[in-house]
Amino acid sequence: MGWNDKSARTYLVEIINANPGDDMNKWDLIAAKMNTILYENDENATRYFFYDGQQCLSRFTENYVSPRLKNKKNHSPSLEPFIKAAVEQYMENFNEQLRQMTSGSSTGQRETANRDDVDNDTAVK
């Protein structure tokens, strides 16, 4: 990623505080805030490091989520608690969406099946 630990920690704290999940408006805000912070604190950064929230999210998933899911620790040990918290929070949002999608579809299937049973019972009588 090329950032110093302070910049990486700030990025992770912004993600933890915003709890963006997949809300692109929140990722856009994180990107805008980080552009300013990076420009002010990292001599190698420009004001336009992140183009938008999508790029900010992509960098997070590529540099922190994917390596953590593969059990690869290629970051400074001082960042580990921040990485762990940000990734766990992100995955919880992802898992909650998955639960809602799967419980909603199975509920709909059960309701349809129950209506079919009622219709069949009524037709038999």
pLDDT of 26: 97
Asked if pLDDT for residue 116 goes beyond 60, the answer is no
pLDDT of 73: 82
Give every CB contact of residue 38 below 8 A, 6+ residues apart in sequence: 3, 7, 45, 49
pLDDT of 106: 53
pLDDT of 49: 86
pLDDT of 12: 97
pLDDT of 42: 72
pLDDT of 40: 86
Instruction: Delimit the domains of the chain by residue range.
Output: 5-124
pLDDT digits (tens, 9 = 90+) for 19-78: 999 999 999 999 999 999 888 887 677 788 889 999 999 999 999 999 998 988 888 999
Asked if pLDDT for residue 2 goes beyond 80, the answer is no
pLDDT of 120: 53
pLDDT digits (tens, 9 = 90+) for 77-98: 999 999 999 999 999 998 998 8
Find out whether 102 and 94 touch, Cβ atoms under 8 Å: no
